[in-house]
Structure 1
Amino acid sequence: MKTKRYVNDENFIAGMTMKDETELENNNMALHACENPENIIINRKKLATSLQCDLASFVCANQTHSANFHKVTLSDIGRGSEQLETAIQDTDALYTYEPNIVLCSFTADCVPIIFHNEKTGLIGVIHSGWGGTVKEITTKLFKHLKQVEQCDPKEFSVQIGAALSQEKFEVDEDVYLKFKDLGYADEFMYFNDKTNKYHIDNQLTVKKQLELTGIPVDQITIDRTCTYKDPNGFSYREDRQCGRHLSFIMRKS
């Protein structure tokens, strides 16, 4: 099973599953975009085994490109792990202080954000497609963590996972204007005269949002793998029937 491991130390393990032609449905991890749910359960169980935990430890959300987030508690363990119906509804970011829970986020071009706080043990995942980015889901979640959870932004380490590259993320003026209205994304966009399309770097826009919330730039890492161009990537732009990557993080007890 192809998996990127972004963090793997005595306290945290985090990473992102990749497309793998040797696995069922190319290692698709999404129940909402699959041929056979049983295949997805098998793939997820393999991931759980590699993380030395059970699939019942996974927590998944029903992502809707919202700016909604959810604090995961012990009562949420297992939600969405084997059935779509039990997933946390209308939510695109999860965080928790609880150990031995695997927080999950699903993407196929959208930007996955995985983060942890070494001092408090808080972990989280964010799904930020262009809709989530212009709604500033990342900004809103970290403001909440500062104000409600009393977190210090300087204590976070953040990984931005593989996503659609600027070259392949071309949009019309309506989307461009939404990014322009943010007021800080101009340097991450350009216009292609030949195609009359705008190209946006969603990863760098998210990185800017993280910086603006006070996270030190040297504590933000970006995986610049393009999910469209890389053969190990699932790309919705390339194939509307594609599977999904699963970005994950767990704090070890």
Structure 2
Amino acid sequence: MTTTIYTNNEQVLMGISLQDDTRPEKNNMALHVCENPETIIQNREHLAASIGHSLQDFVCANQTHSATYYKVTAADKGRGTLRADDAIPATDALYTFEPNIVLSSFTADCVPVLFYATDSTLIGAIHSGWQGTVKEISLKTFTHLKEHEHVDLTNVRVQIGTALSQEKFEVDEDVYTKFKTLGYANDWMYFKDATQKYHIDNQQTVKKQCELAGIPAENITIENVCTFKSDSGFSYRQHKQAGRHLSFIVRK
């Protein structure tokens, strides 16, 4: 299995590609960390075909652990798919109201956030590593959608995808302090005496940001699969040269 499908209904299709030892470069989807760009494009084309789309329907961003969001239109289709230099620059959250655009997010331990509205055509994809989380990218993106795109967040469904577990996400005091300063992450942090490290649940912190924006808790699903511990996960913590998952969502 090279893909996990989270949702496939009459409105949307969304899921995440997996590490697969039978695929070239273990099914790595990232052009910025690869041995051969042509192999990555082949992997992406294989994914696209498996979900009934052309690679030219995809839109990719150059992710920089920012809190920047971008509204995608049909004119952006194909950006970042065949080469990295035409991707959406310095952006970690994509959203659109248009159909047949496959929004992408690349992760290897960071938290992928996929979302869609049940009362409009809105879909989106957010990349929230710990730096994006402390910058509150999810909270800021959903607040923007509410205030400027007039989205009713009570009708938004969120899928928080596979990421580094709290057990494996160990940090020093500087990162702990950044999360503590948020004021709402304390319930998802603990200190381990044996290693003198703090452990943080980034997925739960992102979930809280979604709730603070106005999304009901019951509308948010978390995939409890650790990228470090799972054989199908790409983990930067475990292997610095790790490939990347591609999370995707498309409005039918």
TM over 0.5: yes
TM-score range, shorter chain: over 0.9
The runs of at least 4 aligned residues of structure 1 exceeding 3 Å deviation read none
Match of 1:75 in 2: 75
Amino acid at match of 2:187: E
Q: 1:73 offset after TM fit, Å?
A: 1.0
Match of 1:234 in 2: 234
Match of 2:47 in 1: 47
5+ residue gaps in structure 2? none
Match of 2:210 in 1: 210
Q: 1:10 offset after TM fit, Å?
A: 1.6
Match of 2:175 in 1: 175
Instruction: Spell out the pairing of 1:114-153 with structure 2 (5 A cutoff).
Output: 114-153=114-153
Which string of whole-angstrom CA distances, capped at 9 and with x for unpartnered residues, describes residues 42-67 of structure 1? 01101111111100000000000000
Q: 1:11 offset after TM fit, Å?
A: 1.6
In structure 1, C-alpha distance between the alignment counterparts of 2:153 and 2:67, rounded to whole Å: 19
In structure 2, C-alpha distance between the alignment counterparts of 1:61 and 1:134, rounded to whole Å: 20
Matched, 1:191 2:191: yes
In structure 1, C-alpha distance between the alignment counterparts of 2:70 and 2:213, rounded to whole Å: 19
Q: 1:75 offset after TM fit, Å?
A: 1.3
In structure 2, C-alpha distance between the alignment counterparts of 1:83 and 1:51, rounded to whole Å: 21
Amino acid at match of 1:200: I
Amino acid at match of 1:105: S
Q: 1:121 offset after TM fit, Å?
A: 1.0
Aligned length: 252
Which secondary structure does the structure 2 equivalent of 1:146 belong to? Answer: helix
Match of 2:10 in 1: 10
Match of 2:66 in 1: 66
TM-score by length of 1: 0.99
Which secondary structure does the structure 2 equivalent of 1:113 belong to? Answer: strand
Which secondary structure does the structure 2 equivalent of 1:246 belong to? Answer: strand
In structure 1, C-alpha distance between the alignment counterparts of 2:7 and 2:144, rounded to whole Å: 24
Which secondary structure does the structure 2 equivalent of 1:5 belong to? Answer: strand
In structure 1, C-alpha distance between the alignment counterparts of 2:48 and 2:231, rounded to whole Å: 24
Which secondary structure does the structure 2 equivalent of 1:181 belong to? Answer: helix
Amino acid at match of 2:31: L
Match of 1:36 in 2: 36
Amino acid at match of 2:96: T
In structure 2, C-alpha distance between the alignment counterparts of 1:175 and 1:11, rounded to whole Å: 39
Amino acid at match of 1:191: F
In structure 1, C-alpha distance between the alignment counterparts of 2:129 and 2:8, rounded to whole Å: 26
Matched, 1:158 2:158: yes
TM-score by length of 2: 0.99
Which secondary structure does the structure 1 equivalent of 2:182 belong to? Answer: coil
User: RMSD value over aligned CA atoms?
Assistant: 0.6
Q: 1:191 offset after TM fit, Å?
A: 0.3
In structure 1, C-alpha distance between the alignment counterparts of 2:62 and 2:78, rounded to whole Å: 13
Q: 1:119 offset after TM fit, Å?
A: 1.1
In structure 2, C-alpha distance between the alignment counterparts of 1:243 and 1:77, rounded to whole Å: 24
5+ residue gaps in structure 1? none
Q: 1:220 offset after TM fit, Å?
A: 0.3
In structure 1, C-alpha distance between the alignment counterparts of 2:114 and 2:228, rounded to whole Å: 21
Amino acid at match of 1:37: P
Which secondary structure does the structure 2 equivalent of 1:157 belong to? Answer: strand
